[in-house]
Structure 1
Amino acid sequence: MKHIFLNLKRFDITPELGGVNRLAEPARWGETVASSIKDVAKKYGEVAEFAAFLPEAHLVGACAGAEGSPLGIGCQGVHVADTAPGGNFGAFTTLRTGNSVAQLGCTWALVGHCEERMNLRAILGEVGAAPADVEAAVSRILSREVRAAQAAGLKVLFCMGEREEEVDDWEAVLTAQVTQGLEGADLSGVRIAYEPVWSIGPGKTPADAPYITKVARLIKSVVPGVDVVYGGGLKADNAEMLAGIPEIDGGLIALTRFTGEIGFYPEEYAQIVDLYLNA
């Protein structure tokens, strides 16, 4: 079974405000995206698992748009604590809990994306902690997020990856991220997305097949039985290459167009999925 994940980040913002939403008015954006890609999930539902992660404001619309298809809808993170009978009844102002998104219709949560890790590092860095202490604390927080999501009945896409300054120590860094971040988790409900942070972005050299292969082998040796997808961006340019790596079980799509009017376009999403699954 392959896995096709889609992270729509803050793609709901229109170009007038610096965003990339050229698909629909913001109020209908989530529903429009889910409705437009659910046929792809139906087409390949027997050979691949599909989920799309959206900003919270669009989850209700996206769940409605995905109705009748195998497309799962997920949130882009959860708080480390939640409501519970006889416990906290909901005093989580500004915080997104697993129970709240599950009741909106979500079945997935994205945890540990490189952008979330960057934000956590910045917050923890404000107290002047040593880098090693910050990394350990980030992993502990993410571990609690994973368990909170699973307690709410959500499946988890757990993201991990090394930064440029960590490449020489990649094996130790990634081993620590996966062992600490998934401590206490039910691994049957986890998929892992490997993000080589050092190779993502304009002007950077993308990770090649041998590098991705060795990382996927490491992850699978640390957590046997957990599927690993490429989180550095599944796109038309690398679909065939990634499909040729037996250790990689799918990919994470974000932008579909990287030049001109950059953004996410459903017809290009379908083309990427076709290229990958038919390679």
Structure 2
Amino acid sequence: MHRCLIAANWKMFPPPEGWDAMDSPYRATNEVDVMVFSPFVYLKTCVAAGLRTGAQCGHPEPTGAHTGCVSMAMIASTGCEAVLCGHSERRRDQGETDEFVAAQAKAALTLGLFPIVCIGETASERSSGKAHEVIERQLRIIIDHLGPSPFANRKSQIAIAYEPVWAISGGDLTKPAAKASDAQEMHAFIRSLLPESVRDDMRILYGGSMKADNAKELLSQPDIDGGLVGGASLKPEEFRAIVKFAEQMANG
């Protein structure tokens, strides 16, 4: 069984009240890895508070005329240990392509950062029966671009986050949540595409609106190794409940 990873994506919001308390739910536990992906301006603050911290995106070039961007090298200099690559909102709003996401992941690995690479299908892609085709295309580009090095041993240097874009609320409560069985089916498919050397060890997180009321069922699935939590991560007690469910899974 993989050690569960629960990642809090605070998006473009300030840290929740009490985020840095000693009993904060944003701190790792004995059984569960917890990471916080904060806006850039809070990265050093989160690192200084002792949280396992990551950035929400990063440019693959070390320097250059890329106004408004922050390089992976700059992120690493803050003391962060991780970075999100290709979140669905970045793909949608900033036009990040599969190739750009792959370049992000490669740059992150080069600098010793832990990339969580996000992949997922839209509602139209799913309804047209192309979900598996889209996921395979996205993942193949990542694997081909990175080459064999990150997959050369059983200790995986990256994680995958499956984001069914059609299930991400983004504040829209009318969007349907994904069924745990549907999420498990896609996670198993993703795992089948991974290089054999890391297939059993790479963590695949669920990023489709994990909340306190569905976390237990999702985390009990055999191929779901944690969650990339958005809106619920801004509510400390709800996030605490998700981490508690992960602890329960770890303790059997």
How would you bin the TM-score normalised by the shorter chain?
A: 0.7 to 0.9
Query: Relative to structure 1, is the Cα distance of residues 35 and 153 closer, same or farther in structure 2, using a 3 angstrom cutoff?
Result: farther
1:107-256 residue pairs with structure 2 within 5 A? Answer: 107-121=81-95, 138-167=97-126, 168-185=129-146, 186-187=150-151, 188-201=156-169, 202-223=173-194, 224-225=199-200, 226-256=202-232
CA deviation digits over 1:136-175, x for unaligned, max 9? x811111101111111110011111100111111111000
Match of 1:106 in 2: 80
**1:267 paired to 2:237:** yes
AA of the residue aligned to 1:3: L
Contact 1:157 1:192 in 2 (8 A): yes
CA distance in 1, matches of 2:39, 2:23: 17
CA distance in 1, matches of 2:7, 2:84: 10
Match of 1:41 in 2: 27
CA distance in 2, matches of 1:35, 1:111: 28
Secondary structure of 1:270's counterpart equals helix
CA distance in 1, matches of 2:230, 2:245: 16
Secondary structure of 1:158's counterpart equals strand
Query: Relative to structure 1, is the Cα distance of residues 53 and 36 closer, same or farther in structure 2, using a 3 angstrom cutoff?
Result: farther
- Structure 1 position 237, deviation (Å): 0.8
Query: Relative to structure 1, is the Cα distance of residues 35 and 93 closer, same or farther in structure 2, using a 3 angstrom cutoff?
Result: farther
CA distance in 2, matches of 1:143, 1:35: 36
Which structure has greater helix proportion? 1
AA of the residue aligned to 1:105: G
- Structure 1 position 100, deviation (Å): 0.7
- Structure 1 position 37, deviation (Å): 6.2
CA distance in 2, matches of 1:115, 1:236: 22
Higher RCO structure, 1 or 2 (CA under 8 Å, sep 6+): 2
Secondary structure of 1:277's counterpart equals helix
Tell me how many residue pairs correspond in the alignment. Answer: 230
- Structure 1 position 233, deviation (Å): 2.4
> Rg bigger for which structure?
1
Match of 1:56 in 2: 40
- Structure 1 position 254, deviation (Å): 1.9
CA deviation digits over 1:167-199, x for unaligned, max 9? 111111000011113433324211111111112
Q: CA RMSD in A?
A: 2.2
- Structure 1 position 36, deviation (Å): 5.8
AA of the residue aligned to 1:236: A
CA distance in 1, matches of 2:25, 2:72: 27
CA distance in 2, matches of 1:183, 1:239: 32
CA distance in 1, matches of 2:109, 2:168: 29
Query: Relative to structure 1, is the Cα distance of residues 215 and 242 closer, same or farther in structure 2, using a 3 angstrom cutoff?
Result: same
AA of the residue aligned to 1:49: D
Query: Relative to structure 1, is the Cα distance of residues 99 and 35 closer, same or farther in structure 2, using a 3 angstrom cutoff?
Result: farther
CA distance in 2, matches of 1:100, 1:200: 29
CA distance in 1, matches of 2:167, 2:67: 36
Secondary structure of 2:7's counterpart equals strand
Report percent identity of matched pairs: 30
- Structure 1 position 205, deviation (Å): 1.6
Secondary structure of 2:176's counterpart equals coil
- Structure 1 position 266, deviation (Å): 2.1
CA distance in 2, matches of 1:72, 1:164: 33
Contact 2:16 2:236 in 1 (8 A): no
